[in-house]
Amino acid sequence: MERKLASIVIIDGVQPIPGADLIQLATVKGWQLVIKKDEFRVGDHAVYCEIDSFLPVKEEFEFLRKSSFRKMGEQEGFRLKTIKLRGQISQGLLLPVRVLGDYEYTLGENVAERLGIIKYEPPVPASLAGLVKGLFPSFMHKTDEERVQNLSEQYEEYKKHTFYITEKLDGSSVTYYLNNGEFGVCSRNLELLETEDNTLWKVARVNDIENKLRATGRNLAIQGEMIGEGIQKNMYGLRGQTARFFNVFDIDKYQYLPMEEFVPFIESLGLETVPVLDNSFTLPATIDELLTMADGASVLSPKGKNAEREGLVIRSLDRKISFKAISNKFLLNEG
């Protein structure tokens, strides 16, 4: 599913912030944002820009320069992050629809391209970037769950299902596949050529992943998170690098293995899954309660430390539903 970095929304709620005369708190879908007082009213249409949006350097976005100016490679722009103002979490940015000029929009439409907004991607270490072989193969899914705040309309229906929860690790996405005899290694968006110094390929060789997949006699992909030295902030205090897996994808059936097959399959390969926190979970009453649950120390925290986990990934046992709840505490501490 394409992530809607900037979409047309309806303002669901506006409420005062205690002790604040110039700002208010707006709610949009499952998100809350601090806005200027009286800038929006309930029922207004607006452009909602999600956190991790990278807005171009344009006059209409210059008000963000002091707080949000960043470089992404050689490209300059404004990165939206989770912030806290007057004790309130604010996630993203609301813009009046006039920023679109005379364009005739529709509710829910993704207008990121029209506004020149792209996703902010932190610098990738050379050991992970590697040499590009091609785009991510089309015979399998990329690893990118929707955030629960964007699922406010579906949440009530989801409460009828049983899920399993895994910890979302702070690392770099990796996919290993075997398809019609060909073994491949992919980062989040690209397939990589084999090189001696690429970390994703090194871990594949150390764990003999190619031969283990060949021995299954099936066309499969395993997907996980690469963690360790040189990856993000290595909050887990690891030496070297390792992969923890969260998906097994059946390429021929074009579907994920359900929970009851996924864990034993990864273990049968002599590999490790991401931490499974609950295998019989039902959703709490509200999205806010789930986001509170997302806060907490990582299972993989070094002894004596309580590193904040990135969040939770919630998947139905049959793998037909999956989404993530990112810890606000983690986001507020994010660089």
Write down the pLDDT at residue 249. Answer: 97
Nearest to 141 by CA among 189, 73, 105: 189
The whole-angstrom separation of Cα 33 and Cα 53 is: 15
Write down the pLDDT at residue 255. Answer: 94
Contact 310, 168 (CB under 8 A): yes
- The burial of 97, by beta-carbon neighbours within 10 Å (0-12 exposed, 13-18 middle, 19 or more buried), is given as middle
Q: Give, as one character, the DSSP assignment of residue 123.
A: P
Q: Give, as one character, the DSSP assignment of residue 211.
A: H
| Confidence grade of residue 129 (pLDDT, cut at 50, 70, 90) | confident
Write down the pLDDT at residue 144. Answer: 80
Write down the pLDDT at residue 335. Answer: 61
- CATH classification code of 126-333: 3.30.470.30
Write down the pLDDT at residue 167. Answer: 97
Which residues, including other chains, have CB under 8 Å from residue 217's CB and lie 6 or more apart? none
Token reading at 325 = 């709840």
Res 302 pLDDT > 90: no
Report which secondary-structure segment, H or E, holds 311.
strand 311-316
Q: What value, to the nearest 5°, has the Cα angle with vertex 154 and ends 96 and 327?
A: 75
To the nearest whole percent, how much of the chain has pLDDT over 90?
85
Q: How many CB atoms lie within 10 A of CB 76?
A: 13
Write down the pLDDT at residue 130. Answer: 82
Write down the pLDDT at residue 55. Answer: 96
Any bridge partners for residue 221, and if so which? 177, 249
Strand pairing of 272-273 and 241-250?
parallel
- The burial of 28, by beta-carbon neighbours within 10 Å (0-12 exposed, 13-18 middle, 19 or more buried), is given as buried
The residue-averaged pLDDT of 117-133 equals 85
Report which secondary-structure segment, H or E, holds 128.
helix 126-129
The residue-averaged pLDDT of 201-227 equals 97
Q: Identify the residue whose tokens are 């989040």.
A: 188
Write down the pLDDT at residue 185. Answer: 97
Token reading at 14 = 């506006």
Nearest to 99 by CA among 84, 112, 89, 81: 112
Contact 325, 193 (CB under 8 A): no
Token reading at 38 = 């009286």
The whole-angstrom separation of Cα 257 and Cα 325 is: 22
In whole numbers, what is the pLDDT of the chain averaged over residues?
Answer: 93
Contact 8, 108 (CB under 8 A): yes
Res 333 pLDDT > 70: yes
Write down the pLDDT at residue 217. Answer: 96
Write down the pLDDT at residue 124. Answer: 78
Q: What are 150-177's pLDDT values in tens digits?
A: 999 999 999 999 999 999 999 999 999 9
| Confidence grade of residue 2 (pLDDT, cut at 50, 70, 90) | low
Q: Give, as one character, the DSSP assignment of residue 315.
A: E
Instruction: Please give the sequence-ordered ranges of beta strands (E in DSSP) within 41-145, or none if there are none.
Output: 45-49, 53-56, 69-72, 75-79, 82-85, 88-91, 93-96, 118-119, 132-135
Kindly report which listed range (44-58, 129-143, 246-260, 271-285) carries the lowest average pLDDT score: 129-143
The whole-angstrom separation of Cα 310 and Cα 304 is: 18
Nearest to 290 by CA among 313, 258, 273, 308: 313
Domain extent listing, the chain: 6-119, 126-333
Res 127 pLDDT > 70: yes
Res 331 pLDDT > 70: yes
Longest Cα separation, the chain? 66
Contact 294, 287 (CB under 8 A): no
To the nearest whole percent, how much of the chain has pLDDT over 70?
99
Write down the pLDDT at residue 175. Answer: 97
Write down the pLDDT at residue 128. Answer: 82
> CA–CA distance from 138 to each of 183, 227, 261, 284, 302 (Å)?
15, 25, 24, 35, 38
Query: 0.85 cut: is pTM over it?
Result: yes
Res 12 pLDDT > 60: yes
